[in-house]
Structure 1
Amino acid sequence: WTTAVEVGAAGAECRNVTAGELCYRHLVWAMEEGILRRPDWYPGLTPSSSWDEFQQFLHDEGVDGCPEPCEREACAVVWGRCGGGDSWAGPTCCEAGSFCEVLDEWYSQ
C-alpha cells in the first residue's frame, strides 16, 4: 500500500490507507465482519468487493476521516505475469488470494 498523498480524478486528495490508521481498522472490520453481519449497512458492496471499493464506500459515508482511495494499477490474474525486474512495466500486485512467485530476475508469476 502506498502512503503517498496523490490527487484523484476529481482533483481531491486521495490516499490508500495503511495498517495502524483508524480507517484501516474500520476497513478490516467492514470487510471481515460488518458485511457478513449487516450487509444492509453496505449497499452496493458484497463480501467479494475489493479493498478500494470498501474504502471508497467508507469515504463517501464520512467514516472517521477515511480518505478517498487513489486509483491502483490492475493486478495480475491467477497464473499471469507480475512483479518482474527493473524494466518491468506490468502489474506488480496479484488479485486477491494469489501471490507473486519470483522465478528469476526476469520472470515472476
Structure 2
Amino acid sequence: MLERKLTLEGGTLYCDLGSLEPGGWQTLDCSLRLAGVLPERRVAVSVEVLEGDVVRGSRIFAVPAHHGPAATDLVLRGIRFYLPESCSPRRLTVRSDAHYLEQGERCLL
C-alpha cells in the first residue's frame, strides 16, 4: 500500500504515488434494488463492506432521477469492492442505506 499526505492550496496538484507491486485480490460484486423510487427525485445510496467491526470498503453515490409518471424500482449493478486476498475464508457483512436528496419541490427562477 502506498500513501501520500497532500495539502491542496488551489490550482492543480500532481501526485506521483511511486511504484507498487500488485498483490492478490478478491472481488465482491454487488447489486441492489431500490423499490418504489418516486419520479424526479435523486437518491443517495451508501454501501459498506465490513469484516467484523472493521470497514473494508465503502461506496457512496447519487442515483439520477427517473422521469417516469409513477414510482418505479431501480436496479443498481456493478457495485464493486476489491479486497486483499486472504488464505482463510472471510466473514463479511454488506450494509446499505438510501435516502432521497430532494423533497420534490420545484422553484421558478
TM-score (ref. length: structure 1)? 0.17
Higher strand share goes to which structure? Answer: 2
TM-score (ref. length: structure 2)? 0.17
Compare relative contact order (CA 8 Å, sep 6+) and give the higher one, 1 or 2. Answer: 2
Greater Rg by CA: 2
